[in-house]
Structure 1
Amino acid sequence: MSDTLANLRRKIDRARDLGSVVSTMKALAAANLAQYEKSVRSLADYYRTVQLGLSVCVRSRTPALAASVGEVSSDGAGAGTGPRGSGSPHSPRAPDSITGAIVFGSDQGLVGQFNDIVADHAAATLALHGGRKKIWAVGERVHDRLADKQLPLNGLFAVPLSLKAVTPFIGQLLLHIMAPGMLEGGVQGKNELAGLYLFYNRSRSGTAYEPIAQRLLPLDEAWRRSLAELPWPSKNLPEVVGDVPSTLQALVREYLFVSLFRACAESMASENASRLTAMERAERNIDQLLDELQKTFYRQRQSKIDEELFDVIAGVEALAAAPTGAHPGKRREYG
C-alpha cells in the first residue's frame, strides 16, 4: 500500500508540474494572439489605402500605363481577382502552365488540427488546376502534411518567431519566389508562374479559424477592373501627382508585400488561437486527472489508516480475551 501511495504522490506532482507548463504556454499564446490580431487590424487600414491608390492609377491609365501594368505572369493566364486579390481559386489552367502556391503553417506542435486543415484545403484547391504545381511551405509541420499528400514541394521556410521578423521574412519570400525584375520596379516581370495562390488559416471569432485560398497573381484585366470600380471615400476627385506608371509600380510592390504580410500575420494569429484552444483543453484534462488522482490518493490513504486502526483494535481485543494469571497488583506472600 505504501508503494501505491508513493506512486500516486509522484503522479500528482508530475501532473501539477505539467499543469504549470501548460498554464505558461496558455498565457504566451494569449499574449501572442492579441499582438497578431492587432497587427491584422492595423494592416486593414493600410491595405485599404493601397487599394485606393491603385484604383486612382488604374482610372488614370494611358497606353504606357496599360503596357506597364500587364499581367504579372509568363503566359498571361489566370482568372480575375478582386481588390483583395482573392479571386476564384478554381480557374482552369493550360496543361503546360505552372501554378504556384505558398502554404502557411507552423513549425511547432500543440496546435490541434491547424496544419491538417490548411494542408487539406490547399490540396483540394490545387487539385482543381491543370498543369504543373510549385508549392512552398512556411512551417515544418505543414511541410510534412503536404509531403504526405505527395504534393510537389519546392521549398521550406521557417515561420517568423515574432512580429518584427515578419517584414524581413516577406522580403526573403518575395526575392525567392517572385520575378526579380518585378521587384526592382517592373510590374510586368518575367515570371514562369501562371498564377500564385496563398493558403492560410484566418481567425473568425474568438479562437475559431477557417482556411483561406487567396489568389495573389496574376494582376490581370479583371483585377484592374475591380479596382477601378472602388468608390472614392470623399467628394474630391483624386489624381496622381508625377509619373503614373512609376507610382503604379510602387503601389503594386506594396500590394504584394502587404498581401503576404497579412496572410502571414493572420496565419500566426490563427496558430496561437489554435494553441490557446489546445492548452485550455489540456488544462481541463489535467485538472480532471488531478482530481481523480487526489481522490484515489485520499481513498487509499484512508484505507491504509482504517487498516492500521483495525490492526490496533484487533490487538487490543486479543489482549483482552487472553487468560490472566495472578493479579498483577497483588503481592505474593511466602510462609
Structure 2
Amino acid sequence: MEELSRIQARLDSLGDLDELVGALRSMAASRSREATEAFAGTRAYCDIVERAIDEIAPLVRDPGDFGTGEERVLLVITSENGFVGGFNARLIECMVTERRQDETLIIVGRRGRVTAMEHAATADFGFSMCTHVAGVTGLARRIAARLSNVAAARILYAQHRTGASFDVDVEDVLPLSRPDGPAAAPPLFQLPPPDLMRSLAGEYLFAKIAHALMESLASENSARLTAMDAASRNIGHKLETLHRDERAARQEKTTNDMIEVVTGAQAVGGTF
C-alpha cells in the first residue's frame, strides 16, 4: 500500500490541477460563445462587400484583376496555444493534401506551425493567432496587408459547427469571379470603376479573412472545451481512486498503530 503522506500529496496536486482545468474550461466556453455571437456581424459585412462587387463588376473589364504580383498564397488558420486535442493536426493534414506546388504557405498560429513541421512542412510566413474576439480585426488587417498584391489567395480554416465540432473548409478568395446572374442597375459612384473594384477587392479579402479567423477562434475554443471536459473527467476518476486509497491507507496506518500499542503494552506487562 502506498504511504498515506504520498497519497495526500498526490491528492493536493490533482486538486490544484483540477482547479486549473476548470479555469481553462470556463475561459474556453466564454471565448467560443463570444466568437459564435460575432458570426452574424462578420457574415453580414462579407455579404455587403459581395453585393457591392456584384454591382460594380459589369462596369470593369476583369473583376479578378486585383493584385499586381504573381504570388499565389494558401493561408492556413490554426491555434496559438495548445490543449485543443487534434484540432491543429486535422487542419495541417488537410493542408498537406490541399496545398499546390506554386503556393506560398502562410500559417496563422504558433501551434499550427509546430504541427506543420512535424508533417515535414515549413511555413514561408507566419502570424500569431489572436486569442480573443477583440484581436480579430487588427489581425485580419495585418494579414490582408500582407496579401494586398497577390494574384490568388485561398483560406484553409476550421468552420464552426454545433456540438463542439468543425469542418475543415478551403475557400477561394482571390481572384474575384464575375457574378453569374443578370447585371444589376449600375450604382452611383465617384471613383473610376477599376479603382473602386480594387478597393472593394481589398475589403473583400479583409472581410473573408476576418470571418475565417472568427470561425476558427470559435472552433478552437470548442475543441479546447472538449479537451478540458475530458481532462476534468479523468482527474475526477483519479481523485476518486486516490480517495479510496487514502481511506485504505489511513485504516492500515491506524491498524498498525494499534498493533504497535497493544504489542508494546504486552511487552511492558510481561516484564512484571
| Aligned counterpart in structure 2 of residue 205 of structure 1, from 137, 150, 162 | 162
- Do the aligned partners of residues 70 and 217 (structure 1) sit closer, same or farther apart at CA in structure 2, a change above 3 Å counting? closer
2:209 partner letter:
L
> Residue 105 in 1 paired to residue 105 in 2?
no
Identity among equivalent pairs (%) = 23
Higher helix share: 2
Q: Equivalent residue for 2:139?
A: 169
Contact 1:106–1:138 (8 Å) recurs in 2: yes
Q: Equivalent residue for 1:282?
A: 231
SS at match of 1:101: strand
**Rounded Cα–Cα distance in structure 2 between residues aligned with 1:323 and 1:269:** 78
- Do the aligned partners of residues 197 and 316 (structure 1) sit closer, same or farther apart at CA in structure 2, a change above 3 Å counting? same
Deviates more, 1:37-46 or 1:277-286: 37-46
- Do the aligned partners of residues 70 and 208 (structure 1) sit closer, same or farther apart at CA in structure 2, a change above 3 Å counting? closer
2:169 partner letter:
I
1:142 partner letter:
G
Deviation at 1:30, TM superposition (A): 0.6
Contact 1:122–1:213 (8 Å) recurs in 2: no
2:40 partner letter:
R
SS at match of 2:246: helix
Contact 1:133–1:152 (8 Å) recurs in 2: no
1:2-13 matches, within 5 Å, as 4-13=3-12
Deviation at 1:70, TM superposition (A): 3.7
Contact 1:106–1:115 (8 Å) recurs in 2: yes
**Rounded Cα–Cα distance in structure 2 between residues aligned with 1:229 and 1:146:** 44
> Residue 71 in 1 paired to residue 65 in 2?
yes
**Rounded Cα–Cα distance in structure 2 between residues aligned with 1:318 and 1:162:** 71
| Aligned counterpart in structure 1 of residue 208 of structure 2, from 241, 259, 274 | 259
1:40-59 matches, within 5 Å, as 40-58=39-57
> Residue 144 in 1 paired to residue 114 in 2?
yes
1:197 partner letter:
R
**Rounded Cα–Cα distance in structure 2 between residues aligned with 1:201 and 1:178:** 23
Q: Equivalent residue for 2:174?
A: 217
1:283-302 matches, within 5 Å, as 283-302=232-251
2:15 partner letter:
R
> Residue 178 in 1 paired to residue 148 in 2?
yes
Deviation at 1:268, TM superposition (A): 1.1
Q: Equivalent residue for 2:123?
A: 153
| Aligned counterpart in structure 2 of residue 116 of structure 1, from 83, 89, 101 | 89
Deviation at 1:110, TM superposition (A): 0.8
Unpaired runs of 5+ residues, structure 1, are 76-96, 180-190, 231-236, 325-335
Deviates more, 1:148-157 or 1:25-34: 148-157
**Rounded Cα–Cα distance in structure 2 between residues aligned with 1:260 and 1:39:** 14
Deviation at 1:238, TM superposition (A): 5.6
Contact 1:134–1:152 (8 Å) recurs in 2: no
Unpaired runs of 5+ residues, structure 2, are none
1:299-318 matches, within 5 Å, as 299-313=248-262
Residue-by-residue CA offset, 1:290-321 (whole Å, 9 max, x unaligned): 1111100101111222233344455667788x
- Do the aligned partners of residues 198 and 161 (structure 1) sit closer, same or farther apart at CA in structure 2, a change above 3 Å counting? same
- Do the aligned partners of residues 143 and 319 (structure 1) sit closer, same or farther apart at CA in structure 2, a change above 3 Å counting? closer
1:215-254 matches, within 5 Å, as 215-219=172-176, 223-226=177-180, 228=181, 239-243=186-190, 245=193, 246-254=195-203
Q: What TM-score, normalized by structure 2, do the two folds share?
A: 0.88
Instruction: Name the Cα RMSD after superposition.
Output: 2.7
Contact 2:64–2:174 (8 Å) recurs in 1: no
Q: Equivalent residue for 1:80?
A: none
**Rounded Cα–Cα distance in structure 1 between residues aligned with 2:96 and 2:68:** 24
**Rounded Cα–Cα distance in structure 1 between residues aligned with 2:264 and 2:216:** 71
Q: How many residues align?
A: 270
- Do the aligned partners of residues 304 and 149 (structure 1) sit closer, same or farther apart at CA in structure 2, a change above 3 Å counting? closer
**Rounded Cα–Cα distance in structure 1 between residues aligned with 2:147 and 2:202:** 14
**Rounded Cα–Cα distance in structure 2 between residues aligned with 1:99 and 1:318:** 90
Q: Equivalent residue for 2:103?
A: 133
